[in-house]
Amino acid sequence: MPEPSSLRRAQVAQQPADQAQPGSDWGSVKEAPSQPAWPGRWRRGSWRRATLLLAVVLLLVGAPVLGQDQDLPPPEAGKLEARAGKQIDGVPVVLDGQTIFSIRRGIAGFTAEERAQTITQRLKRLATDQSKDLADLAIRENTDDNSLYLSSGSDVLLTINERDAQARRLPKRQVAEQALETIKTALSRYRQDREPRQLLRSGFYAAVASVAALMASALIIHGSGRIFPIIGRFITTHLPGIRFRSAEIVSPSAISSFGLQGLKILRLVALLVILFAWSSFILRLFPWTRAFGESIADYFFGAAELVLAAFGNYLPNIFVLGIIIVVAYYLLRIIKPLFVAIEQGNLMIPGFYADWAKPTYNLLVVLVIALAAILGFPFLPGFDSPAFQGITVFLSLLLSLGSTSVINNMVGGVILSYTRPFRLGDHIRVGDVIGDIVEKNFLAIRVMTPANQVVTIPNSKLLTSEVINFNISSREMSRSLILQTSITLGYDVPWRQVYATLIEAALATRHILPEPEPFVLQTKLGDHAISYQLNAFTSKPNLMVFIYSELHQNIQDKCNDNGIEILSPDYTALRDGNASTIPSEYLPADYVPPPFRIAPPHSQ
């Protein structure tokens, strides 16, 4: 009898017979695992041990799908392929997310993909049709072309011809029997997994696993919360720390903190392992999520294998990087005491100032780190990859566009460090800002004004501005700072009296040095008054604002004591009939303003 058209439409091309192995393709479905035994009896007082045991069994062992019948024998070909570890080629026929077998060759105008898709649809339709009994599955023969086909009643599933048998190097009847057993096993498991009883059982196991996972997580969190402080106190109390000669490199508290951080990481890893085992177990209980649950472990261990393999391949580079880091570290450790000795004055190098020590050391640190980075970058993972090169170009462009002012300030900081225009604590003036330097670095300085205002001045501005230092003359040139103030007095006051009065006022001011003695200069002979400039020496430039204030007070007092009227900056007075500008407490008790007089010119 001629083969039905449906049989010919179901046949698919396969590879040449000389490329196939005996027993391949048929029976690659996985064996249904047996169910774990549920504890039959609870003992009093042992619920904790039983729960922990259940958690270990369910979570750490990661039992596969539960609730399958133990009497479903897997096909013999599947065992052979499992033992051989051979990868099945061709187009897979999949049911419920698992490959049953594969098709290699199309036939009768159909490709292998079309034939595998048709068989998959027929198997799924048969699996969901509960009215079809799996016992009706049988092998039948087509006398027209001497081929065999598997069918359930009048529904044809697939056809097996001589070419299929030759491809597997097995008799045609044996190939058909293997395919029949494989299909029966897959269909039985498909239906059994969706039975209400099995779903309830899986839900029960899921609930138990969830409770066990929660209890294990709570035990880890609660137990670590009590144990970690005890471990920290033990480390701090009993470990001496790491010392090099008399210097303490790592304190016991630092070791304790580092150890606790490591324990916290281990706790997090343990919680993640529980979460991974729980999610994998739960997903593998139900047929709709079983494929994803089984793939989680494959993804995890595959990723771990890749990481470990990459780490193993990267070990030589890590060794080279370690050498570079160690050499750079100890090089900086060796040169640091040298610059510390120079800064403290214990080591003198002609032409090298003590305040150059710290910036020079900082520059050497930057240079050593930059050199180590240049030598170490080629050994970093992915250095030659396009992604790494793209990130490098992006960062270079970002730095070139956005760091112009930063680079200018850094260059300015280096120049200022070696030109030594000021030190920390110096009293300076930059533009309208006057105050003490409280901080300086390679980018900017910070100045504290007399009003306790902190002004930040970039180093690039310092290079282009006039900086007045009130301390450097006394520190480096042994010349005390001269404070200058001006006053204008009328021509009617003898200049010698003015000199004596101003010098007396200066000597009465705190922080004004008696030696060298203050002196007075006449700076201008104006139309109505003479400008006198008082010059006084001080060794306290940082207090100059307060010294000026007290000096001006004393000038007023001494002038009033000596009957000198201050006409500063300009003062106009009509003497006839007007009182003196001197405060009344400095005037005699019988002082009377002069009368207004009118006299002819010849009487003057």
What secondary structure does DSSP assign to 382-396, as a single string? TTTSHHHHHHHHHHH
Q: 600 lies in a domain? A: no
Most confident among 233-237, 389-393, 555-559 (mean pLDDT): 555-559
Identify the H or E element spanning 536. strand 529-538
Among 474, 491, 517, residue at a domain's last position: 474
* Range in 2-16, 380-394, 412-426, 529-543 with the lowest mean pLDDT: 2-16
Are 300 and 208 part of one and the same domain? yes
Which residue in the block uniquely carries the two structure tokens 């000026």? 548
Are 11 and 147 part of one and the same domain? yes
Q: What is the span of the domain harbouring residue 446?
A: 407-474
For residues 386 and 463, what is the distance between their CA atoms, to the nearest angstrom?
A: 42
For 326-356, write each residue's pLDDT tens digit: 999 999 988 888 888 888 888 888 888 887 8
Q: What does the pLDDT read at residue 38? A: 37
DSSP state of 554: H
Among 447, 474, 501, residue at a domain's last position: 474
- Strands 454-458, 529-538: pairing kind: unpaired
Are 223 and 239 part of one and the same domain? yes
pLDDT at 604 over 60: no
Give every CB contact of residue 247 below 8 A, 6+ residues apart in sequence: none
Q: 490 lies in a domain? A: yes
DSSP 204-255: HHHHHHHHHHHHHHHHHHHHHHHHHHHHHHHHHHH---EEETTEEEE-HHHH
Which is higher by pLDDT, 381 or 469?
Answer: 469
Q: Which two tokens stand for residue 588?
A: 């005699």
pLDDT at 59 over 50: no
Which residue in the block uniquely carries the two structure tokens 């709709």? 288
Q: What does the pLDDT read at residue 248? A: 66
Most confident among 18-27, 56-65, 314-323, 505-514 (mean pLDDT): 505-514
Q: What does the pLDDT read at residue 499? A: 96
Q: How many domains does the chain have?
A: 4
Q: What does the pLDDT read at residue 364? A: 92
Are 437 and 494 part of one and the same domain? no
Are 132 and 190 part of one and the same domain? yes
378 by Cβ neighbours in 10 Å (0-12 / 13-18 / 19+) ranks as exposed
For residues 105 and 161, what is the distance between their CA atoms, to the nearest angstrom?
A: 11
For residues 52 and 57, what is the distance between their CA atoms, to the nearest angstrom?
A: 9
Bridge partners for 158 per DSSP: 150
Write b or e for each residue in 179-194: b if 16 or more Cβ atoms lie within 10 A of its Cβ, otherwise e: bbbbbbbbbbbbbbbb
Q: 344 lies in a domain? A: no
- Give the three-class secondary structure for 424: coil
Helix H segments across 494-593? 495-507, 544-561
Q: What does the pLDDT read at residue 513? A: 94
Q: Provide the pLDDT confidence category of residue 437 given band limits of 50, 70 and 90.
A: very high
Nearest to 163 by CA among 152, 154, 173, 172: 172
Q: What does the pLDDT read at residue 83? A: 35
Are 234 and 179 part of one and the same domain? no
Are 498 and 527 part of one and the same domain? yes
Most confident among 45-54, 70-79, 90-99 (mean pLDDT): 90-99
Q: 491 lies in a domain? A: yes
| Whole-number percent of the chain with pLDDT over 70 | 78
* Range in 122-126, 248-252, 488-492 with the lowest mean pLDDT: 248-252
For 217-240, write each residue's pLDDT tens digit: 999 999 998 998 898 888 888 877
For residues 511 and 537, what is the distance between their CA atoms, to the nearest angstrom?
A: 9
Which is higher by pLDDT, 145 or 320?
Answer: 320
Among 194, 218, 250, residue at a domain's last position: 194
pLDDT at 456 over 80: yes
Written in H, E and C, the secondary structure of 62-78 is: CCCCCCCCCCCCCCHHH
Q: 422 lies in a domain? A: yes
- Give the three-class secondary structure for 185: helix
Task: Calculate mean pLDDT across residues 367-386.
Answer: 85
* Range in 306-315, 321-330, 524-533, 536-545 with the lowest mean pLDDT: 306-315
For 37-51, write each residue's pLDDT tens digit: 333 333 444 434 444
Q: 452 lies in a domain? A: yes
Are 186 and 206 part of one and the same domain? no
Q: Provide the pLDDT confidence category of residue 484 given band limits of 50, 70 and 90.
A: very high
DSSP 338-389: HHHHHHHTSS-BTTB-GGGHHHHHHHHHHHHHHHHHHHHGGGSTTTTSHHHH
Are 219 and 315 part of one and the same domain? yes
Q: 542 lies in a domain? A: yes
Are 111 and 164 part of one and the same domain? yes
For 261-319, write each residue's pLDDT tens digit: 889 999 999 999 899 889 888 888 888 888 787 777 778 778 888 888 888 888 888 89
Q: What does the pLDDT read at residue 31? A: 38
Measured between alpha carbons, how far is residue 354 from residues 330, 363, 476 in Å? Answer: 23, 15, 13
Q: 588 lies in a domain? A: no
Are 21 and 125 part of one and the same domain? yes
Q: Across the chain, what does the average pLDDT equal?
A: 77
Are 92 and 156 part of one and the same domain? yes
Q: Are 35 and 68 in contact (CB under 8 A)?
A: yes
Question: Which CATH number is 549's domain given?
Answer: 3.30.70.100
